[in-house]
């Protein structure tokens, strides 16, 4: 799938990279850049930077970089057309397509086949539920209080007692064994042949926002293990980046999500009218799911089970949601075990009351910490206080919120503020460098070099000069009097210089044109790091020209260094002449108004 140039430009223009990235990753401004924890690799010190002037991002830790489209592709694990569609829908732009190439068509066709296989499997399971073979499954749903309407709404089904019936059905629909395996519906083994792992299970189709079935969850009926089984990850299904019930909840008019643990909790709550309920997919709540929620809602309620596992899950969810700037509320459903049981026994009105009286999630888990300690014992009391204060570090990066919750803890539990400050220092994680402003702040320190691969002291000058040149193309008429593109270091610096100089000579320079002209994806990623320095903020034209002269001189000196290690038989003479040019430039002045 391809798009017109005008359409692509409109998508970029109406999706500011700072707004888009900040909806996924919490960012903090430092200088002209915005910093946060990289979503593409595990790190504890922010090295992920967004540079709004050029609409680019770069991670100085793992080297990933690009524009707003690249970010969405990488974060959402989306193809280029899918990323465009996501951004277009975000900005309310009508999609305009051109004829796509064979590779795109083949990839999309394969994904469409996998989704169709899932859809056909869902139809098989639904029909099976209503047949004599599905009586056991239908009884399970009815015993859980589900109506026929709800069963149909969520497309619930039953797998049957064997794992081969669905394979034969899908074959009869014309699907190949290869694609049935690719969809995660079946596996092929030497002992059992083609067979589905879903048997003797009630089936919960997982549906995306396009109303396509992308996977399944299956609950065993009886004593089999595992109790719940999910589709393995496929080309269309990533359990970390999807949520059960999300296809319905996203369209809810409610301004909040209710986060549950299980499929049945979600279904029961939707049936009771709480149609913004969602759940993770057989795994612990993830940062990717938190980012999905952040894009849609600002309020989240936790309706996790009241047992030990549920309390741990709630604490984890509070911590993860805090990273995207959301502090959820915890719904107490005691004395019942889970929301499904509570609604069945107490009704909708009582659950609404519990929701209305939900407690701040952070303070709730802090109260649970106190429940675990014997506060009459001084040592136990100290350990409790230390753990409570240590939890404040989940707000690291948001100084105001961290200070606010520190004050709440002081008032709630009677802890002197001086003790909280001391314990914050005592529990400070190593990844949080000590900030100058005090114990409840966090320093975002930009890395000093882009990736560790570049060791020359001249590269910062080349990077600064290229950044300045791409920020203010008018200085090119001065720069080109002294430098050519091949004066820059081989690799990303020279590639960026070559394309920049070429576009400036043609009078067609733009940052988008520059990145479009860099064919090597590795160079593109490196370029996003090279071009993230800010043009110097100097108050007089004279000082600016002195700074520009200094950068040009350093690049020229770098060229001398490169020439000295070459095999050129005339290198000594060339270096001598270049040194004369450098000395002349050092003793003179640059003027932006100079004519060529």
Looking at residue 591, what is its pLDDT?
64
* Alpha-carbon span 465 to 533, nearest angstrom: 9
Average pLDDT over residues 286-290: 88
Q: Distance from CA of residue 271 to its chain's centroid?
A: 31
* Alpha-carbon span 279 to 249, nearest angstrom: 10
| CA-based end-to-end distance of the chain | 45
* Alpha-carbon span 163 to 96, nearest angstrom: 44
* Alpha-carbon span 277 to 342, nearest angstrom: 15
Alpha-helix residue ranges (DSSP H) falling in 191-332: 246-249, 263-271, 287-296, 308-323
Average pLDDT over residues 337-342: 91
Looking at residue 101, what is its pLDDT?
65
Looking at residue 96, what is its pLDDT?
67
Cross-strand bridge partners of residue 217: 204, 230
Establish whether the linkage from the previous residue to 335 is cis, with ω within 30° of 0: yes
Residue 389 tokens read as 């204060």
Residue 536 pLDDT exceeds 70? no
**pLDDT classification of 435: cutoffs 50, 70, 90:** very low
Residue 443 pLDDT exceeds 50? no
Percent of the chain with pLDDT over 90: 50
Residue 349 pLDDT exceeds 90? yes
Tokens 């994806």 -> residue: 521
Mean pLDDT of the chain: 87
Residue 314 pLDDT exceeds 70? yes
* Alpha-carbon span 407 to 363, nearest angstrom: 12
The alpha carbons of the chain give a radius of gyration, in whole angstroms, of 30
Beta sheet of 201-207, edge-to-edge order: 157-158, 201-207, 213-220, 228-230
Residue 272 tokens read as 């009771």
**pLDDT classification of 241: cutoffs 50, 70, 90:** confident
Q: How many CB atoms lie within 10 A of CB 572?
A: 11
Total length of the chain? 596
Average pLDDT over residues 383-398: 91
Q: How many CB atoms lie within 10 A of CB 206?
A: 25
Looking at residue 446, what is its pLDDT?
36
More confident of the two residues 348 and 100: 348
Contact 456, 558 (CB under 8 A): yes
Spatial neighbors of 491 by CB under 8 A, at least 6 apart, are: 523, 526
Looking at residue 282, what is its pLDDT?
76
CA-closest candidate to residue 51, choices 538, 537, 520, 529: 529
Residue 90 tokens read as 């975000």
* Alpha-carbon span 139 to 152, nearest angstrom: 15
Query: What three-state secondary structure class fits 3?
Result: strand
Residue 441 pLDDT exceeds 60? no
CA-closest candidate to residue 13, choices 87, 97, 98: 87
Contact 230, 216 (CB under 8 A): yes
* Alpha-carbon span 353 to 65, nearest angstrom: 47
Is 368 exposed, middle or buried (CB count within 10 Å of its CB: 0-12, 13-18, 19+)?
middle
Is the full-model pTM beyond 0.85?
Answer: no
Residue 105 pLDDT exceeds 80? no
Highest mean pLDDT of the ranges 147-156, 298-307, 498-507: 147-156
Looking at residue 134, what is its pLDDT?
94
* Alpha-carbon span 232 to 241, nearest angstrom: 13
Looking at residue 172, what is its pLDDT?
97
Average pLDDT over residues 375-388: 96
* Alpha-carbon span 65 to 59, nearest angstrom: 6
Contact 496, 514 (CB under 8 A): yes
DSSP conformational letter for 31: T
| Ramachandran quadrant class, 245 (left: phi over 0; alpha: psi -120 to 50; beta: rest) | left
Looking at residue 450, what is its pLDDT?
39
Contact 564, 571 (CB under 8 A): yes
Residue 455 pLDDT exceeds 50? no
pLDDT digits (tens, 9 = 90+) for 162-180: 899 999 999 999 999 999 9
pLDDT digits (tens, 9 = 90+) for 43-78: 878 889 998 888 899 998 888 999 999 999 988 878
Cα angle at 179 between 73 and 121, to 5 degrees?
A: 100
Residue 541 tokens read as 């034209």
* Alpha-carbon span 514 to 503, nearest angstrom: 8
Average pLDDT over residues 359-363: 96
Residue 380 tokens read as 């136990």
Contact 297, 255 (CB under 8 A): yes
Q: Annotate 187-221 with DSSP letters as a single string.
A: EEETTTEEE-S--SEEEEEEE-TTS-EEEEEEEES
Residue 231 pLDDT exceeds 80? yes
DSSP conformational letter for 53: G
Give the containing element (helix H, strand E) for 380. Answer: helix 378-390
Beta sheet of 277-279, edge-to-edge order: 277-279, 256-260, 299-302, 329-330, 359-360
Looking at residue 99, what is its pLDDT?
55
DSSP conformational letter for 229: E
**pLDDT classification of 438: cutoffs 50, 70, 90:** very low
Tokens 């690719």 -> residue: 182
Looking at residue 23, what is its pLDDT?
87
Residue 378 tokens read as 């001084």
Looking at residue 437, what is its pLDDT?
38
Residue 449 pLDDT exceeds 80? no
Residue 452 pLDDT exceeds 50? no
């Amino acid at each position: 799938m391809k798009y017109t140039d005008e359409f692509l430009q409109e998508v970029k223009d109406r999706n500011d990279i700072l707004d888009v990235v900040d909806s996924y990753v919490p960012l903090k401004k430092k200088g002209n850049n915005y910093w946060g924890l990289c979503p593409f690799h595990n790190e504890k010190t922010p090295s992920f930077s967004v540079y709004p002037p050029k609409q680019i991002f770069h991670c100085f830790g793992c080297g990933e970089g690009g524009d707003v489209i690249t970010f969405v592709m990488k974060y959402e694990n989306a193809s280029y057309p899918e990323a465009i569609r996501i951004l277009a829908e975000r900005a309310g732009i009508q999609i305009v397509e051109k004829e796509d190439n064979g590779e795109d068509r083949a990839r999309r066709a394969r994904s469409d086949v996998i989704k169709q296989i899932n859809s056909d499997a869902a139809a098989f399971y639904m029909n099976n539920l209503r047949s004599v073979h599905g009586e056991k499954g239908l009884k399970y749903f009815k015993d859980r209080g589900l109506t026929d309407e709800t069963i149909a709404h969520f497309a619930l089904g039953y797998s049957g007692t064997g794992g081969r019936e669905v394979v034969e059905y899908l074959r009869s629909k014309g699907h190949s064994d290869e694609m049935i395996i690719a969809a995660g519906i079946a596996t092929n083994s030497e002992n059992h042949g083609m067979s589905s792992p879903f048997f003797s299970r009630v089936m919960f189709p997982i549906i995306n926002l396009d109303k396509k079935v992308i996977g399944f969850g299956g609950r065993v009926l009886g004593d089999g293990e595992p109790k719940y089984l999910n589709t393995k990850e496929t080309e269309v299904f990533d359990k970390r980046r999807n949520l059960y019930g999300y296809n319905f909840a996203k369209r809810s008019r409610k301004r909040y999500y209710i986060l549950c643990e299980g499929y049945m909790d979600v279904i029961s709550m939707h049936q009771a009218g709480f149609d913004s309920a969602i759940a993770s997919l057989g795994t612990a709540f993830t940062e990717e799911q938190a980012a999905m929620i952040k894009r849609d809602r600002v309020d989240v309620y936790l309706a996790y089970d009241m047992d030990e596992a549920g309390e741990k899950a709630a604490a984890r969810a509070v911590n993860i949601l805090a990273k995207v700037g959301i502090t959820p509320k915890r719904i107490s459903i005691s004395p019942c075990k889970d929301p499904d049981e509570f609604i069945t026994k107490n009704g909708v009105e009582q659950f609404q009351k519990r929701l209305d009286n939900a407690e701040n999630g952070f303070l709730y888990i802090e109260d649970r910490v106190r429940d675990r300690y014997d506060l009459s014992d001084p040592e136990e009391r100290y350990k409790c206080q230390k753990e409570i204060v240590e939890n404040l570090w989940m707000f690291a990066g948001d100084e105001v919120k961290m200070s606010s919750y520190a004050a709440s803890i002081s008032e709630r539990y009677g802890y002197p503020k001086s003790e909280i400050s001391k314990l914050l220092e005592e529990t400070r994680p190593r990844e949080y460098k000590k900030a100058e402003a005090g114990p409840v702040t966090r320093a975002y320190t930009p890395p000093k070099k882009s990736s560790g691969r570049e060791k020359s002291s001249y590269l910062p000058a080349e990077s600064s000069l290229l950044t300045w040149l791409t920020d203010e193309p008018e200085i090119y008429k001065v720069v080109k009097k002294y430098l050519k593109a091949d004066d820059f270091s081989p690799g990303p610096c020279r590639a960026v210089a070559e394309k920049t100089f070429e576009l400036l000579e043609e009078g067609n320079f733009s940052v988008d044109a520059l990145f479009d002209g860099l064919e090597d994806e590795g160079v593109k990623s490196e370029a996003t790091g090279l071009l993230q320095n800010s043009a110097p903020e100097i108050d007089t034209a004279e000082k600016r020209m002195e700074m520009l002269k200094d950068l040009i001189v350093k690049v020229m000196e770098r060229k001398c260094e490169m020439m000295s290690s070459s095999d050129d038989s005339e290198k000594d003479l060339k270096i001598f002449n270049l040194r004369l040019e450098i000395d002349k430039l050092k003793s003179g002045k640059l003027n932006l108004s100079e004519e060529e």
